[in-house]
Structure 1
Amino acid sequence: MNDTQDRLIDHLQARGFIHQSTDLEALRTHLATGSRTIYLGFDATADSLHVGHLQGLMLMRWLQKAGHRPILLIGGATTRIGDPSFRDESRPILSEAQIQANIAGITRTFGRYLNLGEGAGLVVDNAQWLDGIGYLQFLDQVGRYFSINRLLTFDAVRQRLDREHSLSFLEFGYTLLQAHDFTELARQYDCTVQLGGADQWANIINGVELGRRRDNRQLFGLTMPLLTSSDGKKMGKSVSGAVWLDGSRLAPFDFWQFWRNCDDRDVGRFLALFTELSLEEIQALTAQGGAALNQAKCVLADHATALAHGEAAAKQAHAAAIAVFAHGEAAELTTLTIPRAQVQAGITLAELLVETGLQASRSAARRLAEGRGLRLDGALVESAELEMDRQASQWRVSLGKKRHFDIKVVG
């Protein structure tokens, strides 16, 4: 047992990662007496993770640095069902092709934060075992260990029923599938700890109980606090939509700006959760207000962006922000690219914005233009359906007053 392992739980608590645990003192001993395998699950509902997932990735990063092995479990099977936890309606069902595309997209993000591969962290899809299990076999192996009476007491289920919102049998069985995931990972990989957000507490408890009652195996669960900013906004969301971790969905410049624009009251907390600065460094950065606190926000933005997009992208985003906001210029802006073949085949401004990831859809681009928030090479654009010059080599696009990009034609 080394000093890092011995003090790991205290370190994670001090940084704000721990909300609940099935047996915190037993977990402390468990983590301090050997290298453990720990998992965190993600359903494949989009082709990128967002800032709301970042707390879990950073927790996994600290655990791996302390000598433990992370498993990132992707719900290739459970995505088809949807977790009903604290939702008022069923989640839309995705096609198999959409799910596979989403899995490929979010897997790219993992490698930025964790060491994956032979002898390191793993990415596992629960379709490996759930796709092959029969209904009667599942009832025998899992269903017999759960009481409907007890499941009905869980907040996520009770709230749906109390509001008289429909809860399908398909969704009701989600917690049993997640419990089976935990015990299957324990069987295949000797995984003994599951992480999750506070809203996953009941699902995690069921996996721990299934391991104890059926397999006589001690498993542990640990949840993180559900994060909102001090102004009440849910982490992962901004005024313009989700704060994606994939650069193809959200430019590094905008990602950097998200952190730079956080509420003064959140700076210290976010530095502890989303950077690897020591708590002593964080205290020194946030001890004073005013200009010093603004500098702390830049440090937060630099570190968070470097983890998500690399050091070069973080430096470029920082330089672009200084150019735009400190000097009122648009030099050194984030540069995006578009293949020449696409331009020469004919492309509208709306399509260009979607292809470069600056807008989620053509309709979003049209709304931006209609609201007088779109400029092309400094000129106000009244219609996003403007066809782009097929011979051009570069454009400067402004979205609102603060988002400026150079789009370069390549190839």
Structure 2
Amino acid sequence: MTDILDELHWRGLIALSTDEQELRSALAAGPVTYYCGFDPTAPSLHIGNLVQILTMRRLQLAGHDPLALVGGATGLIGDPKMTSERSLNDRDTVAGWVERIRKQIEPLLDFDGAHPARMVNNLDWTSPLSAIDFLRDIGKHFRLSRMLAKETVSARLNSDQGISFTEFSYQILQGMDYLELHRRYGCVLQTGGSDQWGNLTSGVDLIHRVERQSVHALATPLVTKADGTKFGKTETGTVWLDAEMTSPYAFFQFWVNADDRDVIGYLKVFSFRSHEEIAALEQEVADKPAARSAQRALASDVTTLVHGAEETEQVIAASRALFGMGSLDELDAGVVKAALDEAGAPMVEAGEELPSYVDLFVRSGLVDSRSAARRAISEGGAYVNNVRLDPGTSPDDRPGRDDLLHGRWLVLRRGKRTVGGVELA
């Protein structure tokens, strides 16, 4: 890679830049110290935040020095939303979220190589600062006309909700972060999403006013979906990086289900595959869309980045096994449950004595009646844990406790694609 900006352009990762030619020169003369901030306004980052982390990683691989800021101070306030005031979280909650988010970022950056990353927390320099010092040393450099022109602030001011001084001050705090990192580490580039552009440039302006130095800001575009729905949202909600909030199986399925119109763009943004590899997958989408090769490559790459290779192997095995192309016995308990949930499989709760196979298929909704269940079994189209039920199975025959996966679940299947589950209550 001779020019990281050319690479970012090819991947569709540059929406705005303060002075691209000056930044190109600085990066070529490198290494450049740069930062991106992440606020703990929830217990986890989501896949929108992943765009920023992976952009940081690309810059690091190109020979530059990253600072990953987790906002222990700004997280106590929250960046203003377009619609309404945020609910303020208590200090202990935010501190706990800071640690959770640090652990999500750390595996995705290199902290030991030639250009080691550094984690920073803006609470370290914000907490000791008095209100008077903040207003005298920082606030005096901000002009209300520019602050009021920020899109989110303007929208809120013209709404019934309005905006509090607390949220209005957020852009001052973020600007101060850039100034502090510039002073401490020689940071000369801040990256972020295009929706953060007003906050990014507030730091650029503050450093110019206070230090008489020129620094840079670079914004990535917001990722969109071709069908007009919001990226990173599913029927069950936001796609989080935390495995407890979005299971690795559900995470994998989100990417597998990417629209053909979106998948190549997602590969450019979220994978580290080469130009040649992505071009080959793009050709496969055109020639053999039903194979979904690009989607599977994308899902494997991103799930491995976030959850690790071992978890990804379990998820892929579960995707196959759920529909009869592998063994369910080898799957972890959590993967079995997540696979059933994500497949939308109707669940039957069973007591100590399991119902008959016929009743289980009826109660799961896989068939309409006991006679239909008996017919599915006699025709060889009924499966339990991927084992075909003997066509001679009696209507009163029932599974035993030894048949339960992990002592808790049965996976029912009628034909190739219709799946249900049984969970021991």
Instruction: Give the TM interval when normalised to the shorter protein.
Output: 0.7 to 0.9
Cα pair distance change 1:112/1:406, threshold 3 Å: farther
Determine whether 1:236 maps to 2:232. yes
Cα pair distance change 1:154/1:69, threshold 3 Å: same
- Give the residue type in structure 1 aligned to 2:310: A
- Give the residue type in structure 2 aligned to 1:268: I
Structure-2-length-normalised TM-score: 0.79
Residue 357 of structure 2 is matched in structure 1 by none
Once residues 135 and 87 of structure 1 are traced to their aligned partners in structure 2, the CA distance between those partners, rounded to angstroms, is: 27
- Give the residue type in structure 1 aligned to 2:82: R
Q: Please, which of 94, 112, 115 is the counterpart of residue 89 of structure 2?
A: 94
Q: Please, which of 64, 68, 73 is the counterpart of residue 64 of structure 2?
A: 68
Once residues 79 and 381 of structure 1 are traced to their aligned partners in structure 2, the CA distance between those partners, rounded to angstroms, is: 45
Contact 1:320–1:331 under 8 Å retained in 2: yes
Determine whether 1:219 maps to 2:224. no
- Give the residue type in structure 2 aligned to 1:294: R
- Give the residue type in structure 2 aligned to 1:131: S
Once residues 328 and 381 of structure 1 are traced to their aligned partners in structure 2, the CA distance between those partners, rounded to angstroms, is: 22
Once residues 216 and 231 of structure 1 are traced to their aligned partners in structure 2, the CA distance between those partners, rounded to angstroms, is: 46
Residue 376 of structure 2 is matched in structure 1 by none
- Give the residue type in structure 1 aligned to 2:32: R
Residue 281 of structure 1 is matched in structure 2 by 277
Contact 1:324–1:402 under 8 Å retained in 2: no
Cα pair distance change 1:201/1:312, threshold 3 Å: same
Describe the SS at the equivalent of 1:41. Answer: strand
Cα pair distance change 1:90/1:320, threshold 3 Å: same
Cα-to-partner distance string for 1:88-144 (whole Å, 9 max, x where unaligned): 111111111211221121111112211126961111111001111111111111111
Q: Please, which of 170, 180, 192 is the counterpart of residue 188 of structure 2?
A: 192
Residue 268 of structure 2 is matched in structure 1 by 272
Once residues 255 and 106 of structure 2 are traced to their aligned partners in structure 1, the CA distance between those partners, rounded to angstroms, is: 21
Deviation at 1:374, TM superposition (A): 3.2
Cα pair distance change 1:297/1:337, threshold 3 Å: closer
Contact 1:77–1:131 under 8 Å retained in 2: yes
Cα pair distance change 1:156/1:404, threshold 3 Å: farther
Residue 294 of structure 1 is matched in structure 2 by 292
Deviation at 1:54, TM superposition (A): 1.0
Q: Please, which of 303, 308, 311 is the counterpart of residue 313 of structure 1?
A: 311
- Give the residue type in structure 1 aligned to 2:279: Q
Residue 151 of structure 2 is matched in structure 1 by 155
- Give the residue type in structure 2 aligned to 1:322: R
Determine whether 1:374 maps to 2:369. no
Query: Mind listing any 5+ residue stretches in structure 2 that lack a counterpart?
Result: 351-359, 366-400
Contact 1:145–1:210 under 8 Å retained in 2: yes
Structure 1, 391-400 or 56-65: larger mean CA deviation: 391-400
Residue 247 of structure 1 is matched in structure 2 by 243
Deviation at 1:147, TM superposition (A): 1.2
1:323-342 map, 5 Å: 323-325=321-323, 327=324, 331=328, 334-336=331-333
Cα-to-partner distance string for 1:253-306 (whole Å, 9 max, x where unaligned): 111111000111001001111111112211111122434661111111111111
Deviation at 1:406, TM superposition (A): 11
Deviation at 1:333, TM superposition (A): 6.9
Determine whether 1:107 maps to 2:102. yes
* Paired residues, number: 371
Cα-to-partner distance string for 1:53-95 (whole Å, 9 max, x where unaligned): 11111101111111111111111111111111x4211111111
Contact 1:89–1:165 under 8 Å retained in 2: yes
1:3-42 map, 5 Å: 4=1, 6-42=2-38
Structure 1, 208-217 or 279-288: larger mean CA deviation: 279-288
Contact 2:44–2:241 under 8 Å retained in 1: yes
Cα-to-partner distance string for 1:16-51 (whole Å, 9 max, x where unaligned): 111100001111111110111111111101222111
- Give the residue type in structure 1 aligned to 2:407: Q
What is the identity percentage for the equivalent residue pairs of Structure 1 and Structure 2?
Answer: 35
Cα pair distance change 1:101/1:69, threshold 3 Å: same
- Give the residue type in structure 1 aligned to 2:249: F
Contact 2:412–2:422 under 8 Å retained in 1: no
Structure-1-length-normalised TM-score: 0.81
Once residues 181 and 225 of structure 2 are traced to their aligned partners in structure 1, the CA distance between those partners, rounded to angstroms, is: 34
- Give the residue type in structure 2 aligned to 1:47: P
Q: Please, which of 407, 413, 416 is the counterpart of residue 394 of structure 1?
A: 407
Contact 2:11–2:268 under 8 Å retained in 1: yes
Contact 2:39–2:72 under 8 Å retained in 1: yes
Deviation at 1:232, TM superposition (A): 2.1
Structure 1, 190-199 or 237-246: larger mean CA deviation: 237-246
